Amino acid sequence: MSDSGQAAVQYDALGAAYGTNSDANTFNAHYERPAIKALLGSVTDKRVLDVGCAAGSLTDWLLRQGAEVSAFDVSPEMVRLTRERVGPESDVRVADVSEPLDFVADRSIDIVVASLVLHYLRDWVPVLREFRRVLAPAGFIVFSTHHPTMDWQLHSPDDYFAIKQVTENWAVGGESLPVTFWRRPLTAMSEAIAEAGLAIERLVEPMPDEHVAAMSPRDNERLRTRPAFLFFRLRDLL
């Protein structure tokens, strides 16, 4: 099964419980999304491609901020949940980020955003090249991914430089469900970005927001001393 096919099956199984959990937990709602929003800046009147929209939390925020949003996910269930959240008239579809994005014209997008998506794929280069193709002049790409030191400690302590596929079990909706992704070192990330013709404008290791200390002192201490996610803003080299 392809990386995208496996992600579709696994996220279909996670279902609505994933969206509910993602909207409230410390790691997504109070760590990852605030950092993504900070890197995006003002999105009012911007044409935004929301890659891997999951259950639609970021899609909803983008629309409420006045962006013109095209969103997609490889999981039909996640797309259904997003449409349910933002309205059936919104531009939300099932699509595979590892395939050419034929529904997006060249140089037509001001901002490409991919929130916790790329680590589900072994090969980043063709994906990043497609992001570059659709990017308008002066546009930029924002994405988040698993921090390589976190995945190194959890899944590859014997070899930080290994690129390897790993599976975790996530407790969601009272069930333990498998989620499979790829871990890689920072060097592999930066080389893929350069090979795709993109430059790193900003690289961020954020702090959790002010709510996390009260919600979970344990998570707060962990995220303030051991990063979980890594954030990039990229621009076209040309």
CB 182 within 8 A of CB 121: yes
For the stretch 194-208, pLDDT in tens is 999 999 999 999 999
Domain span at residue 32? Answer: 3-236
- Local structure of 40: helix, strand or coil: helix
Asked if the model's pLDDT at residue 238 lies above 80, the reply is: no
Q: How far is the C-alpha of 62 from the C-alpha of 191, rounded, in Å? A: 30
CB 3 within 8 A of CB 122: yes
Number of H helices, E strands in the chain: 10, 9
How many structural domains does the chain have?
1
Q: Write the pLDDT tens digit of every residue in 117-160.
A: 999 999 999 999 999 999 999 999 999 999 999 999 999 999 99
Q: What is the CATH number of the domain that holds 215?
A: 3.40.50.150
* pLDDT at residue 208, rounded to an integer: 95
- Residue 227 is predicted with a pLDDT of 96
Using CB atoms within 10 Å of the CB of residue 42, give its burial: 0 to 12 exposed, 13 to 18 middle, 19+ buried. exposed
Q: What percent of the chain stands above pLDDT 90?
A: 95
pTM of the model: 0.96
